[in-house]
Structure 1
Amino acid sequence: MDNNNGSHTFSRASLSVLSVLLASTAPAQEANQQGSQNAADMERIIVTGTRVANRSALDTAVPVDVVSGEQLENLGVTEVSQALSVTVPSFNFPRPGLADGTDTVRPATLRGLAPDQTLVLVNGKRRHQAALVNINNSIGRGSTAVDLNTIPNAIIQSVEVLRDGASAQYGSDAIAGVINLRLKTDADGGDAGVTYGWRETSYDVLVRPIPAPNPTWSAPSRLSRDLSDGETLTVSAWKGLPIGSTGSVVIAAEYKDQEHTERGGYDTRQQYPLVNGQYDPRELTFDRFNSWYGEPEMEQKTLFVNAEYEVASGATVYGWASYQDRDALSAGFYRIASDVRNTIEIYPDGFLPLIAPEVIDLSAAFGATWRLGEWNMDSSLSYGRNEMDYRIRNTLNRSLGPASKTTFDSGGFDYDQLTLNVSGVRTVDVGLASPLNIAIGVEARRETFGIDAGEPDSYRNGGVRLPDGSPTQSGAQVFPGFRPENEVDEDRTAVGAYIDLEANLTQQLLASVALRGESYSDFGENLAGKLSLRYDFTEQFALRASVQNGFKAPSLQQQYFSTTSTNFIGGIPFDIATFPVNDPAAIALGAQPLDAEESLNYSLGAVARIGDLTLTIDAYRIDIDDRIVLSENLTSGDVINYLTSLGFIGIGGGRFFINGVDTETEGVDVVLTYPLTTDALGRFDFTLTANYNSTDVTRVPTTPQLSALPTPPVLFNRFNVLSYEEGTPEDKYAAAINWTLGGWGATLRATRYGEVLSPDPNPALDVVLSPTTLVDVEARLSVTDHIKVAIGADNVTDEYPDPLPPANNLTGTQSFSNYSAFGRSGRFVYGRLTYSF
C-alpha cells in the first residue's frame, strides 16, 4: 500500500452521579435553534460558541465566522471544504493526489492543526467521522476527519466556524475549533440548478534529464502543456414544503459527475528492456505523459432531508436523514514495462494501476425540543455511518504470473457512531447585569470500527518468481488487499456531561464558564474547562479573551487500523505491517494504549465597529501535548534482528500509532467587513481576511525498546516535523467584493497563500513553494423572477504552485507538491443555470 488516563481525571462514579443529577434537572436545547428564519437572520444570530439565545456573531466572547448559503453557491467548485477555504482566514484545503483513499476523502485544516482536531456539527449535533485514516505522506497524515463534502450545498442555510478551542462545550476534537452546518428549514420555496465547468489551463513542468547513455529520444529541460480536462457536471435541487401549518420539510438532492485531471510530468525513464543491446523502438512513440496526478474521477449521488414540526403542546420535533454514494477513481505510480513488478505478457507497455474506492455515507437523527418549567429542553438520537471499499483496476498480482487477474477486491473499512444527548437551557435572575444563562447536558456515544478482508488474490503470494529466481512481492500492485488477520470489529462507548454558565457581570463585562467531563471505555476520563471574557468599552469597541484546556480522544481508526504487505529481504519473506497498538509485535517495539491528546488554548481579541464597518482581530496560542502520530516505517536490520530475537519470526517491522509529539501553535486572525449601499451603483459587500500561523514541534516520541538498539530508529523524523511546522501557509490573505444591482450581481475574490515548505527526507531536496495569489470571479443575472444565470472562473489567472525540481520527481509523475495549499489543477471555468420555485 502506497501508503492511561489523562492528566485531568475524575472517577467514573463521580461522572455517573453528575450525569444522573443533570438528567434529573431537565437537560435541554443543545444550541439547536428551531423555527423558520430567513437568511439574514441566520447570518446575524449564531448558535455556535454560545448557548445564549439571540446572540450575534459580533457580540460573542469568542470569534465566530458565518458563511451563508449564498456564499457557498457563488463558486465554481461546489464543495463545502473549498468554500470555507476561501472565506475562513485560517482554514485550508490542500487537495492532495497520489495518496490512495485520501484522494477521495480529502482532509482540511483549521489553524494549521490536524483535520481531526476540528469538531464538525450538523444543527449543533456531532457529525460522524469518515472511516478512512490518512496514512500517506500528505497533510493530515495519521488523522481521521469528518468528510464535509458528504453534505450538499443545497441543504445548507449557513456554516458557523468557531475559531477557538471548545472541548469544554462540545467535547473531544474541538481543539482548533468547531464547524457547525445549519440546515434549511423553509416551508416553501426552492430551486434547481445545473453547474457545468472544466479546467482550461496551461502549465510548465521541469523535466528530468534523459538517462545515459543517451537514447534516440530527447526532451527539453522544461515543457509547457495546454489542457482542457476535469469536466464537472453538478445538478442540484432543494424544495421546502409545509407540514400542516406549523412544520416544514426540506428535501435536497445533488448529482455530481467529475472527470479526472492530469497534472503529471514527463516520464523520461527508459520504459522497455534493451533489445540486443539497443533501445526498443517503442521508446520513440511511448506517451511519456503517462500518469494521472490531479483531481480524481468521481460520480456522486446525495440525498438529504431535514424536517421539523411544532405540535399542539408547543414542543417541536425535528430530524434529518442523508445518503451519499460516491464512486471515485484515482491512480498510483506508473509501472514501466521493464519494472520487475510488471508481467510483460499482461502489460507489454507497462501499466497505470487505478484505485477505485466506493464510499457510502448515511446519517439519521430524530429529536425534540420542549419546555419543562423554566427549562428549554432538547433531546436527540443521531446515527452516522461511513464505509469505504476498495476495488483496484488495471493492475496485477506479480506473484501469480501471467494468470493474474487485473481487477481485485481489496476489502475496506467502516465506521459508525450512535449519539444520544439530552440538554437544557434556562435563565435565572441572580442580581447581575443580565440573567444568568445556565446550560447543562449529558451525552452518550457508541462508536464502532471494522476492517473487511479482500479477496485472496488481492493479498496472497502465488509463488511465481522473477526471471533471476528471486521471489516477488505479494498482492495487488498499488494497494494489496486487507488480509484476514487485519480484520477487526471494535467498539467503544463514551459518556459526557457539561455545565455552561454565561452572564453579563456588569453592563460592560460578559463572562462565560464551561466545564465538561467525559469517560471513555477504552482510555479513561478527561475533564475540560473554559473561561471566556468580553469587555465592551463602548458600543464601538470591545476586547475578548478565553483560556481553556481541551482534548482529543484517540479514534478507533488510530487504535485498530491494520494492514500488511510482504517484502522479500535476501529471498526471505518478511511481513511489513501497520500494527494496531495492541499487536504483540507493536508492543515489543514500544507501542502502548493510546491516550487523549491534551491542549491549552489562549486567545485575546478585539472587536471594533465604525459605522457599518466591522473589524475583528484575534490572537491565539494552542499548546498540545501527546499528539497522536503514525510512526515511521521501522524496518532496519536492527529492528528485524530485535523482533526475531523475541520470537517474531518473519516480521520485518512496520509502523504504529503513538502519543508523544508536543506542539506550540501561535497565530492571528483578522476579519474586516464593510457593506456599502449606493443609489446608482447598487450594494457592495467588502470583506478582508488575514491569518498568520506558526507551529513549533517541541517534543517527538521515543520508546525504551527502540532507544536501546545499536542504531535507534527515529519514530517521527524531520520530514514529519517539518510537515507540522511549515507544511501549511505561514500566512494567508483574502479580499472579496460582492456586488448586487437589481437583477445583476458579481463576486470578485483574491486569496494569497503564503510560503509553504514541501519537505523531503533529504534536507538538500526541501522545496520552498512561493506565495501565490488566486483570483476568482463570477457574474450573475436574474433573467426573470425565477431564472438566474451565472458564469465565472475560479483561479482565473491560472496560477500553479512552483513545479518540483527533477531531483524531487524521479518518475516524472509528481510535477507539483502535495503540500500546495490550493492544489494544482489550474483555472476552472463554469456556467450555472438556476430556476427558483
Structure 2
Amino acid sequence: MKLQLNAISRAITYAIASTASVGLFSTTVMAEESGAKKEKIEKIAVVGSRAAPRSVGDSPVPVDIIGGEELSKAGGDDMLELLKGSVPSLNVHQNPISDAASLVRPANLRGLPADSTLILLNGKRRHRSSVIAFLGGGINDGAQGPDISVIPSIALKQVEVLRDGAAAQYGSDAIAGVINFVLKDASEGGSFSVKQGQFFEGDGDTTTFEGNVGLPFSDDGFANLSFQYKNADPTSRSVQRPDAQKFTELGIEGVRNPAQVWGAPEIKDDITLFGNVGLDLSNSSQFYMFGNYSERDVEGGFYYRNPETRPGVYANPLKLVDTNNDGVINDKDDDSHRQWLVADLTSDGTGGCPEVIFPIGEHLVNQPGYQDVMNNQNCFAFNKMLPAGFTPTFGGNITDTSLTIGTKGEIEDGFMKGAYYDLSGSVGRNESRYFMTNTINASLGPDTPMEFSPGKYIQLEKNFNADISKGYDFDLAYDVNVAAGLEWHEETFEVIAGDEASFIAGPLTSLGFGIGSNGFPGFKPSAAGEFTRRNYAAYVDVETPFTEEFLMGWALRFEDYDSFGSTTNYKVTAQFQATDDLSFRGSVSTGFRAPTVGQANVSNVQTNLSSGVLVDSALLPPTNPVSQILGGSELQPEESDSYTFGAVYQSGDLFMTIDYYNIQVEDRISQSDKIDLTAAQKAALKADGVPNVDSIAQVSFFTNDFDTTTQGVDVVANYSMDMLGGYSTFAFAYNWNETEVDKFSAITGDFKVKRLEKDLPQHRATLTWTQQWEDFTGFVRYNYFGEYQGVHVDYDATAIMADPSVTFDAELTYFATENISLTLGANNIFDQEAEKLDFQKGTGIPNNNWGGKYYETSPYGINGGFYYVKATYTF
C-alpha cells in the first residue's frame, strides 16, 4: 500500500486560523510501501497553533499524532478503544447496565469527564451526542460529549491529540485538551478489508467490513469516501444470582441462567459513511466539504426483577411490624416485612383477595394466602404473569449526521494581501431513539404490553466561522503571525415523548404498582419540547518569534451566551530551544465549559440500586422547585486554570518529551448524588404539579457543586533502528494522573468523591515494538494499568482498591501479494482477567449478589482476550 505525501509547503500555504484550527493539511506520518522499509517522516500538526503547521517537536504545547495506519492495528473497531491503546492519559470504560451510557460510551482525557475534551473533525467543532450519561460511573455522571465511536479508522489520515487546556483558543469544552480527527484526502487508490474477531470466552463475535476510495473531483480536486459496516454479538461475564438460583430450587419455572447479564451489549447493523471533498477554485482558493451518516442499534440488559422484592411490581417494603405483639415497635425485637402487591380485579372489590404481608428474608411462595391468590381468577399479581421475575432489555437506535461546507485561501489584493481566510458553516445532528422489551408498566396490570418506545433525544448544532490570519514583519526572527476570527453557535436539545403506555399511570397506581415502562419510564408530554441556546465568540491569537530560539504565543477569546452571560479567557505559550537537541515549553491558560442545553433542561426517571435495592430516581432540572429545596440552582459554566511545563529532546532517531500539567476546575458540572425524598419534599413535588410522586424514592439534578485539582506527567518516547534483518520502532508512553476534590457538599456525597479520585488508575503506560521485514510486519504492545478503585453496581460497600495489571497485544501481517495482506492478531493475548469480585476484600457483600464476576471499573474491560483475523485488498 502506498500513501500519498502532501508537500509541507502546501500545508503551510493554506494553514490559517479557524475557530477550531485547520487540520486538513497535516502531512502523513509515515510513507509505506508493501515490502519496503518505512522511513520516518517528520510529524506535522496544526492543532494547537494558528500559524503555519509545526512539527511535533517544535510545538509549544504537547501534541500526539497517531497515523491512520497505527489506528488500524487493533482488534476492535471502536475508535475509543483504538485511541486508548495510543494515548495513556485517555481512559475508556465499558458501562454494562448503565442506561444510555452503554449506548454511547464516554471517554476521559487526563481524568476529566467526556465533555471536557473538545472534539474536532478536519479542524471543525464536532457536535455532541444526544445521549446524557445519567449512570456514568461517577466521573462521567451527567456527561454529554460527542459520539467518537462513529468515526471509523479507515477514514482517517491521522489523529492529533492536543494534551493541553485550550478553551482560550477553541472555546468551551477544551479544558482537558483537543482531539482532531483528520480525514483522508487522497484522490486515488483505496482499500477494502474484512475482519472477524471473537473473545477467548467464545462470545462477542464481531464482523466488520470497511472500505476507502480516493477519486478525482475534476482535475483540481478530490473526493475521498469511506464506509464501515459492523455487527457484534453480546458478551456475558456473569454467574447466576443466588436469589434466582433459590427460585429454581423452589420449583419456579422459567428462571433464566444467568438471570442478569454483565457484559458488552449487542451492536446490530452499525453502518457509517464518511465523505471528504476538496476542490481548488483557483491558485489561491479552495472549496471543501465533508460529513457523515451513521446509524446503529445497540441492545443490552438491565437488573433482574426479583419476583418477591421488586418494589412497585411484586412487593413493597413495609416498616417494622410488631411481631412480638408487645404493643411497641422496636428495631431489636420486631422484624421488617413486605406487602405483596395484589389487585382485586372485580368492579366492587368482592374478589376475595387476601392481604399477604411476610417477613423480609422469607419466601413469598411459602406464605399463607399465596396459593389463594394464584388460584383466584379475580386476583392479579405479577407472579401470575411473570412468576420467575424478569430482566428488562434496554436499547437504542443511534443516528448521527453532519455536514460542513467552506472555502479558504489567500487574499491576493488590497491591504490584506497575503492574508489567509477560512469561511465555513457546519450542521450536526445526533438522535437517540430508545426502546424497552421484556418489561412492563406495572400500573396497567394484566393489560400491560411488554415492549415500549420511551421516546427520543435529539441534539442539533449549527456553527458558522469566519477566520483570518496574516504574518507581519517586525524585524524579529521571522514574521509575527496574527490571527482573528468570529464564531456563531446554536445548540438545540429536543425531547420527544414516548408512547403512552411507557409513561401512563394505569388503574393499579393507587395500589402501589409502579408507573411507566419498568427500568426506563417513557418521556411524558410535559417533559417534551425544544430547548435552544445561542452564543457568539471573537478571538485574537498572536505568535511572536522573538529569536530563532525563543517563541511565545498569546491568545484571547471572548464568548457570550444568551443564557448565563459572557466569559473571557486567555492563554500564553512559550518555547525555548536551549540546544540543537533540547527545548523547553510551557503554557498558562484559563478556560471554561458551558453547561449543555440538555443538562440544564432534561428530566428523566432512572432505576438504580440504593443500598442494594432497586428504586426509582427522578432527575429534575436544576431550576425545579424541589431541586432548589435540595440545593440546586441555575447552572453556570465551569472555570479552569491550567499550566504546563515540559521538555523535548531529539537526537538522531530518538525523540522524547516530558510534560507536567496542573488543571484546577471550579464549579464542576455533574449530576448530584441521589437524594432520598422526605414526605414534605414529596408534598412539594405534588404541589409543583409533578405526577406520580409516590413511586419516586430519590431525586437528583445537575449542579455546580465541587472543585477539583488534576495534575500529572506525560512521557512520550520513540526510537527507530535496523534490527533482526528489518526495521524496528519502539514507542513508549507513560501517564501519571491524580485528581483531588478540593471542595464539595452533601449534594455530591462522599462516595462520588471517592469515585472521582480513585476510579481511574493513576499510572498508565504502553510500550510498543513494531518490526518490519520484506513480506511481514508486526507489533507487540505492553500495557500497564496501575492501582484503581474497583466498584460494582455503583455501590459503596463493594468498593476496593484493585491491584495493578498488565496486558499484551500482538499482531502479524503477511503481504501475500502487492495488493493483498493477511493479518492475525489479539488484544490481551494472555487473557488477563479483570479484578474479580471478592467479598473477603470488601465488606461482606457476596461476590455474585447481582450476578457479576468482575469489578466493571476495570480500565481494560471485563471481557478478557480478543483475537481477530483480517484480509485487506489495497488498490
Please say if 1:350 is aligned against 2:389: yes
Query: Aligned-pair RMSD on alpha carbons?
Result: 2.4
Cα 1:829/1:696, change in 2 over 3 Å: same
1:769-808 correspondence to structure 2 within 5 Å? 769-806=802-839, 807=845
Question: Equivalent residue for 1:267?
Answer: 241
Please say if 1:442 is aligned against 2:506: no
1:377-428 Cα deviation digits (max 9, x unpaired): 1111011000101110111122222221111011121101100001112111
Question: Equivalent residue for 1:381?
Answer: 425
**SS of residue in 1 equivalent to 2:57:** helix
1:115-514 correspondence to structure 2 within 5 Å? 115-138=114-137, 139-200=139-200, 227-270=201-244, 280-282=250-252, 287-299=256-268, 300-340=270-310, 341=313, 343-372=382-411, 373-464=417-508, 470-514=511-555
Which amino acid in structure 2 is aligned with residue 147 of structure 1? D
For 1:158 and 1:70, the matched residues in 2 are separated by 8
Question: Equivalent residue for 1:220?
Answer: none
For 2:707 and 2:537, the matched residues in 1 are separated by 26
Question: Equivalent residue for 2:702?
Answer: 657
Please say if 1:70 is aligned against 2:69: yes
Deviation, 1:654, is 1.5
Cα 1:566/1:159, change in 2 over 3 Å: closer
Counterpart pick for 1:592 among 633, 654, 665: 633
For 1:583 and 1:635, the matched residues in 2 are separated by 16
Question: Equivalent residue for 2:776?
Answer: 744
For 1:534 and 1:628, the matched residues in 2 are separated by 33
Deviation, 1:452, is 1.1
1:510-536 Cα deviation digits (max 9, x unpaired): 111111110011111111100011111
**SS of residue in 2 equivalent to 1:229:** coil
Deviation, 1:349, is 2.8
Deviation, 1:95, is 1.4
Cα 1:48/1:808, change in 2 over 3 Å: farther
Deviation, 1:79, is 1.8
- Contact (CA 8 Å) 2:27, 2:43: kept in 1 or not? no
Cα 1:647/1:420, change in 2 over 3 Å: closer
Deviation, 1:691, is 0.7
Q: Which has the larger radius of gyration?
A: 2
- Contact (CA 8 Å) 1:463, 1:471: kept in 2 or not? no
Identity over aligned pairs, percent: 32
For 2:84 and 2:795, the matched residues in 1 are separated by 31
For 1:363 and 1:381, the matched residues in 2 are separated by 11
1:318-362 Cα deviation digits (max 9, x unpaired): 011210111011010122444553623433433221112000000
- Contact (CA 8 Å) 2:19, 2:465: kept in 1 or not? no
- Contact (CA 8 Å) 1:36, 1:185: kept in 2 or not? no
Cα 1:598/1:565, change in 2 over 3 Å: closer
For 1:281 and 1:566, the matched residues in 2 are separated by 29
For 2:103 and 2:457, the matched residues in 1 are separated by 14
Greater mean alpha carbon deviation, residues 358-367 or residues 669-678: 669-678
- Contact (CA 8 Å) 2:101, 2:136: kept in 1 or not? no
**SS of residue in 2 equivalent to 1:70:** helix
- Contact (CA 8 Å) 1:258, 1:297: kept in 2 or not? yes
1:250-289 Cα deviation digits (max 9, x unpaired): 1101100000000122311156769xxxx52358x95542
Deviation, 1:642, is 7.6
Deviation, 1:809, is 4.9
- Contact (CA 8 Å) 2:575, 2:583: kept in 1 or not? yes
1:109-129 Cα deviation digits (max 9, x unpaired): 000011110000011100000
Q: Structure 2-normalised TM-score? A: 0.83
Question: Equivalent residue for 1:99?
Answer: 98
- Contact (CA 8 Å) 1:65, 1:161: kept in 2 or not? yes
Q: Structure 1-normalised TM-score? A: 0.87
Deviation, 1:184, is 0.4
Please say if 1:31 is aligned against 2:21: yes
**SS of residue in 1 equivalent to 2:519:** coil
Which amino acid in structure 1 is aligned with residue 784 of structure 2? R
Greater mean alpha carbon deviation, residues 585-594 or residues 325-334: 585-594
- Contact (CA 8 Å) 2:23, 2:182: kept in 1 or not? no
Question: Equivalent residue for 1:618?
Answer: 659
**SS of residue in 2 equivalent to 1:62:** coil
Question: Equivalent residue for 1:733?
Answer: 765
Which amino acid in structure 1 is aligned with residue 305 of structure 2? R
For 2:113 and 2:153, the matched residues in 1 are separated by 24
Cα 1:34/1:142, change in 2 over 3 Å: closer
**SS of residue in 2 equivalent to 1:311:** strand
Question: Equivalent residue for 1:110?
Answer: 109
For 1:129 and 1:485, the matched residues in 2 are separated by 25
Deviation, 1:37, is 4.9
For 1:45 and 1:797, the matched residues in 2 are separated by 36
Deviation, 1:566, is 11
For 2:809 and 2:650, the matched residues in 1 are separated by 28
For 2:853 and 2:129, the matched residues in 1 are separated by 29
For 2:493 and 2:831, the matched residues in 1 are separated by 42
For 1:814 and 1:786, the matched residues in 2 are separated by 46
For 1:613 and 1:620, the matched residues in 2 are separated by 23
- Contact (CA 8 Å) 1:30, 1:51: kept in 2 or not? no
Please say if 1:535 is aligned against 2:505: no
Counterpart pick for 1:756 among 788, 807, 814: 788
Question: Equivalent residue for 1:768?
Answer: 801
Cα 1:291/1:171, change in 2 over 3 Å: same
For 1:384 and 1:681, the matched residues in 2 are separated by 49
Q: Structure 1: which 5+ residue stretches go unaligned? A: 1-25, 201-226, 568-573, 702-713
For 1:456 and 1:95, the matched residues in 2 are separated by 32
1:91-140 Cα deviation digits (max 9, x unpaired): 11111111011111000000001111000001110000001111115141
- Contact (CA 8 Å) 1:582, 1:593: kept in 2 or not? yes
Which amino acid in structure 2 is aligned with residue 179 of structure 1? I
Please say if 1:718 is aligned against 2:750: yes
For 1:238 and 1:50, the matched residues in 2 are separated by 30
For 2:531 and 2:710, the matched residues in 1 are separated by 33
For 1:639 and 1:432, the matched residues in 2 are separated by 70
Question: Equivalent residue for 1:218?
Answer: none
Deviation, 1:758, is 2.9
Deviation, 1:28, is 6.1
Deviation, 1:638, is 6.5
Matched length: 759
**SS of residue in 1 equivalent to 2:864:** coil
- Contact (CA 8 Å) 2:24, 2:122: kept in 1 or not? no
Cα 1:793/1:749, change in 2 over 3 Å: same
Cα 1:93/1:452, change in 2 over 3 Å: same
For 2:262 and 2:751, the matched residues in 1 are separated by 22
Cα 1:106/1:27, change in 2 over 3 Å: closer
For 1:367 and 1:54, the matched residues in 2 are separated by 20
- Contact (CA 8 Å) 1:29, 1:424: kept in 2 or not? no
For 1:90 and 1:28, the matched residues in 2 are separated by 26
For 2:265 and 2:616, the matched residues in 1 are separated by 31
